[in-house]
């Protein structure tokens, strides 16, 4: 039986939503350290690997490049001894995330407002149609 904290590749796919081919690729390009293997060569991921993979996934959602993610992972491993370049990169990426959060907040408000405008109308959503047409008044 699989030990807690030891995951075969199929379980990792389910857990983090990254395909098996991609997981092998990440190991090949050393985005992940060499993954532990059983006596018969089956990959066994531990909780630390899962944590790294979740970080990679979050960073990819922000469209960070793999090269950048590799640097950020180094920072993550040993934040107190990170090189200046990695520290600078981390600061830049933090600024990007904060800007993205502002955009998301704005978009969230806009969508919420549109939904609330729709709720006020019983006949579908004429408001959005009028905005699409650039009218000042609903249809």
Partner 1 sequence: MKPIQIEVFSSPDCDRCSKVFDIVTAVVRDYGDDVAWRNVNVIAELDYAVELGVISMPSIAIDGDLVFTSHPSARKLRDEIDARLRQEI
The residues of the shown chain that bind partner 1, judged by CB under 8 A, are 106, 109-110, 112-113, 116-117, 120-121, 127, 130-131, 136-138
Structural contact between residues 16 and 54, judged by C-beta atoms closer than 8 angstroms: yes
In the bound state with partner 1, the residue whose beta carbon lies nearer, of 39 and 120, is 120
CB of 137 to partner 1, least distance (A): 7
Cα separation values, 7 from 39, 48, 82, 87, 88, Å: 15, 11, 29, 32, 34
Closest to 53 measured CA to CA, from 86, 12, 87: 12
In the bound state with partner 1, the residue whose beta carbon lies nearer, of 21 and 129, is 129
CB of 130 to partner 1, least distance (A): 6
In the bound state with partner 1, the residue whose beta carbon lies nearer, of 84 and 132, is 132
CB of 116 to partner 1, least distance (A): 5
Q: How far apart are CA 117 and CA 30, in angstroms?
A: 50
In the bound state with partner 1, the residue whose beta carbon lies nearer, of 47 and 102, is 102
Closest to 9 measured CA to CA, from 134, 22, 116: 22
CB of 96 to partner 1, least distance (A): 22
Tokens (6 digits) for 1: 């039986």
């Amino acid at each position: 039986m699989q030990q807690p904290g030891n995951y075969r590749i199929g379980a990792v796919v389910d857990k983090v939503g990254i395909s098996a081919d991609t997981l092998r690729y990440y190991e090949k390009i050393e985005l992940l350290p060499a993954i532990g293997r059983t006596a018969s060569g089956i990959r066994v991921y531990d909780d630390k690997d899962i944590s790294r993979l979740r970080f990679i996934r979050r960073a990819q959602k922000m469209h960070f490049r793999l090269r950048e993610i590799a640097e950020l992972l180094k920072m993550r491993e040993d934040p107190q001894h990170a090189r200046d370049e990695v520290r600078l990169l981390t600061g830049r990426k933090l600024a990007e995330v904060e800007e993205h959060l502002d955009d998301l907040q704005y978009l969230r408000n806009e969508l919420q407002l549109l939904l609330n405008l729709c709720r006020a109308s019983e006949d579908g959503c004429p408001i959005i149609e009028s905005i699409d047409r650039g009218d000042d008044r609903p249809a």
